[in-house]
Every structure is written in structure tokens, then in C-alpha cells.
Amino acid sequence: MQLSAAPYEERLTAPRSWWLISLLVGVSLALIMLPFGTLPLLGGLVGGTAAAAVMASAYGSVRIRVVNGALIAGEAKIPLSALGDAEVLDAEEARAWRTHKADTRAFLLLRAYIPTALRVEVTDPEDPTPYLYLSTREPERLAEALRTGREAAA
């Protein structure tokens, strides 16, 4: 059995510093609860840390995958046949495409803590989306997976 695309999967996990910030949120909530006694203080520490950690984990759980002739980026699933050229964006160019070069119709899977990205043209005439902007730590590898997947499908 031959795969239809180069295997690619990436989880856009939150940086380690966000986990420290989660602990600091818990400490802050514990300090707020300090006047109410020890039990509320511990509840604030545990509850605040847990709530902040859940939020960091949820934000960093989004995935980008190339599987079975499709690109799955977060909630979006696009067949590789509907995609055109992919452009690897370094940190400076990625910032430009997030700001002044951005098109409001574009699909953005944006994570500000990831400096590099991939911009992929959408060639489907039925789709009003001009391109996909995908934050990724490995833009060259993702571009290669998309290219290989399109070639395998052709």
C-alpha cells in the first residue's frame, strides 16, 4: 500500500514559558484568596494554575497534518488538489503576511509564538480563499509534504 502524501504532522504547542505563567496565575489567585484563609488560598493556587494550564494546552493543541491527499490545519480540511504553490516565510516575511500584506479573505492558522510560516495558494475557483497562512516550526518540511502529496495524487 502506497501512501498518498509524505507523512507530516505538527502540533503547534505553546512555549514552555506559558506553563510558568500558568503557575504564576495560580500564585496570583492564591494571593487574592489569602485573606479568606488557608483552604481558599490552596484552592486558588490549584484552581488558578489548572485553569491557566488548560487554556495554554487548548491553545497549543492545534495540529497541521498532511494525510490521505488532504491538508488538515486546525478545523480546516483542504484537498491537496485545491492547493497551489507553497511559499516558505521567514520571521520577517511571516510578520508582513500577518499584518500589512494580509488579505481578509485568507485562512490564517496563526500562532504568534511561532515566528516562521508557510503561505499556500488556493487554486480552487469555487473557493473565495486566496491563500492559507500556516504558522509552522518546519515550513520547508511542510512545503515538501504538500508537494510530494500533490505529485502522488497526480
* Predicted confidence (pLDDT) per residue in 76-96, tens digit: 999 999 999 999 999 999 999
6: confidence class by pLDDT, cuts 50, 70, 90: low
pLDDT at residue 137 tops 50: yes
In a domain, 3, yes or no: no
pLDDT band at 68 (very low <50, low <70, confident <90, very high): confident
Q: 2 falls in which pLDDT band (50, 70, 90)? A: very low
Whole domain around residue 26: which residue ranges? 10-59
Rounded Cα gap, residues 114 and 94, in angstroms = 10
Tell whether 54 is covered by a domain: yes
Q: How many structural domains are present in the chain?
A: 2
Residues 11-59: pLDDT tens digits?
Answer: 999 999 999 999 999 999 999 999 999 999 999 999 999 999 999 999 9
| Domain co-membership, 47 together with 72 | no
Task: With a cut of 50, say whether residue 147 has pLDDT above it.
Answer: yes
Q: Are residues 93 and 126 in the same domain?
A: yes
Cell of 66: 498532511
Give the cell for residue 122: 488556493
d(CA 63, CA 111): 11
129 and 84 fall within a common domain: yes
4 is a domain residue: no
Asked whether residue 44 falls in the same domain as residue 90, the answer is no
Q: 9 with 47: CB under 8 angstroms?
A: no
Residues 29 and 77 placed together within one structural domain of the fold:
no
Cβ contacts of residue 136 below 8 Å, gap of 6+? 10, 12, 64, 114, 116, 117, 118, 142
If asked whether residues 26 and 49 sit together in one domain, one would say yes
What gap in Å lies between CA 11 and CA 4, rounded to an integer?
21
Its pTM stands at 0.83
CB of 107 within 8 A of CB of 133?
yes
pLDDT digits (tens, 9 = 90+) for 95-116: 999 999 999 999 999 998 999 9
In this structure, is residue 88 part of a structural domain? yes
State whether 18 and 54 are in the same domain.
yes
